[in-house]
Amino acid sequence: MTSIALILLSWNNTTEVLTLIESLLNAKIPGVETHLVVVDNGSSQAEVQALKSLEGDAKVIYSPENLGYAGGNNLGIKHALTIGTEIIGLMNSDIIFDAGQFRGFVEDMIANQQVGIAGPVIIENDKSYVGGKNISVDLNTRIQREDGNQSESFGDWLDVEYIPGTFILFRSQVFRRVGFLDETYFFSGEIADFCFRAAEAQTKICVNKNYSIQHQIGKNTKREGLYLYYNLRNRFLFVSKFYPGLKWKWCIKGSRFALGALLRLNFRRFRTTSIAVLHGMTNKFGNKNHLFN
């Protein structure tokens, strides 16, 4: 029997996590042993207490501090490797899926042994996305579905350079061959980094065009500031590792973002982008959430 571990991060969003776990419990796949793993990333005591209701339905791992997307998921990935699951999935807690679509996607991944990393079509508002392009190019590198024919495809699978971490499946041997997510990113860019390393190790990375999930994007001013900061700053980390000659390009690009925000009198965005460029150029990575409290 094939086994799969599905890993969810929890960071002060227990209600979302509990809702998704319930959906997953109702979407069990015949002939597939499913392990649900929740990693709490240093949530408040009240949130941690609420998560205890999951024990029995899921393995809950408690981290005393916020390790970021990469660090938290690495805890879950290591657990999954320890128990020997063949497939490992990472999921955002703010996704909605049809049970039949979910089952079909997982079953197709299990059946297509040549695919090492896979994702479904991601629907956000009225747009559909099919993976992404190399993140050294720009801030927005996700591929809208109408642009998907620019990549090679075989059957229902579309070759892409990375799969967003919204919902992504890996064969366990990919982690054994490539290593874990780079925790230096803390948040944003670590999946693109991992996919880049996996592709160098001849791993096939694909989106299955037949299946989709919905990603609910809420409006949260604080999180928007954090997203912008990490998204821009971590471009510097990515290019430093893989394209060191592009670091000054990102300094110029980021400075233009900051100047544009200043000219529009958007002082919050100006501050966020300026700090991101400064930290990127001076190699100050890791957790910087405290700057946006």
Q: What is the arithmetic mean of pLDDT over 207-211? A: 95
Q: Are both 260 and 139 inside the same structural domain?
A: no
Tell me the residue type at 164: P
Q: Are both 200 and 284 inside the same structural domain?
A: no
Among candidates 260, 242, 158, 56, which has minimal Cα distance to 272? 260
Question: Do residues 156 and 210 touch, judged by C-beta distance below 8 A?
Answer: yes
pLDDT digits (tens, 9 = 90+) for 8-46: 999 999 999 999 999 999 998 999 999 999 999 999 999
Q: Are both 95 and 230 inside the same structural domain?
A: no
Q: Quick one: pLDDT at residue 292?
A: 86
Number of domains in the chain: 2
**DSSP letter assigned to residue 152:** -
Q: Quick one: pLDDT at residue 257?
A: 95
Q: What is the arithmetic mean of pLDDT over 112-116? A: 96
- CATH code for position 11: 3.90.550.60
Q: Quick one: pLDDT at residue 155?
A: 65
Q: Are both 200 and 229 inside the same structural domain?
A: no
- Distance CA(236)–CA(267), nearest Å, equals 22
Q: Is the predicted pLDDT of residue 277 greater than 60, yes or no?
A: yes
Q: Are both 123 and 148 inside the same structural domain?
A: yes
Residue 6's H or E segment, with its range, is strand 2-10
Instruction: Tell me which of 155, 183, 215 is where a domain ends.
Output: 215
Q: Quick one: pLDDT at residue 145?
A: 81
- Distance CA(148)–CA(159), nearest Å, equals 9
Q: Quick one: pLDDT at residue 232?
A: 97
Q: Are both 211 and 226 inside the same structural domain?
A: no
Among candidates 117, 123, 107, which has minimal Cα distance to 161? 117
CB burial readout 103-138, b (16+ within 10 A) else e: bbbbbbbbebeebbbbbbbbbeeeebbbbbbbbbee
Question: Do residues 175 and 95 touch, judged by C-beta distance below 8 A?
Answer: no
pLDDT digits (tens, 9 = 90+) for 212-237: 999 987 655 555 689 999 999 999 99
Q: Are both 145 and 163 inside the same structural domain?
A: yes
Query: What is the value of pTM for the model shown?
Result: 0.94
Q: Quick one: pLDDT at residue 154?
A: 55
Q: Are both 106 and 165 inside the same structural domain?
A: yes
Instruction: Tell me which of 215, 239, 258 is where a domain ends.
Output: 215
Q: Are both 115 and 230 inside the same structural domain?
A: no
Separate counts of helices (H) and strands (E) for the chain: 9, 12
Judged by DSSP in three states, 26 sits in coil
- Distance CA(275)–CA(266), nearest Å, equals 15
Burial tier of 220 (Cβ tally within 10 Å: 0-12, 13-18, 19+): exposed
Q: Are both 117 and 7 inside the same structural domain?
A: yes
| One-character DSSP codes across 56-83 | TTBEEEEESS--HHHHHHHHHHHHHHHH
Q: What is the arithmetic mean of pLDDT over 251-256? A: 97
Question: Do residues 190 and 182 touch, judged by C-beta distance below 8 A?
Answer: yes
Domain that holds residue 269: 221-292
Q: Quick one: pLDDT at residue 150?
A: 47
Residue 177's H or E segment, with its range, is helix 172-178
Q: Strand 153-154 vs strand 117-124: parallel, antiparallel, or unpaired?
A: unpaired
Residue 48's H or E segment, with its range, is helix 45-51
Instruction: Tell me which of 192, 215, 238 is where a domain ends.
Output: 215
Tokens of 186: 């803390």
Q: Are both 175 and 97 inside the same structural domain?
A: yes
Q: 148: pLDDT confidence band, cut at 50, 70 and 90?
A: very low
pLDDT digits (tens, 9 = 90+) for 49-103: 999 988 889 999 999 999 999 999 999 999 999 999 999 999 999 999 999 999 9
Question: Do residues 166 and 70 touch, judged by C-beta distance below 8 A?
Answer: no
Q: Are both 196 and 233 inside the same structural domain?
A: no
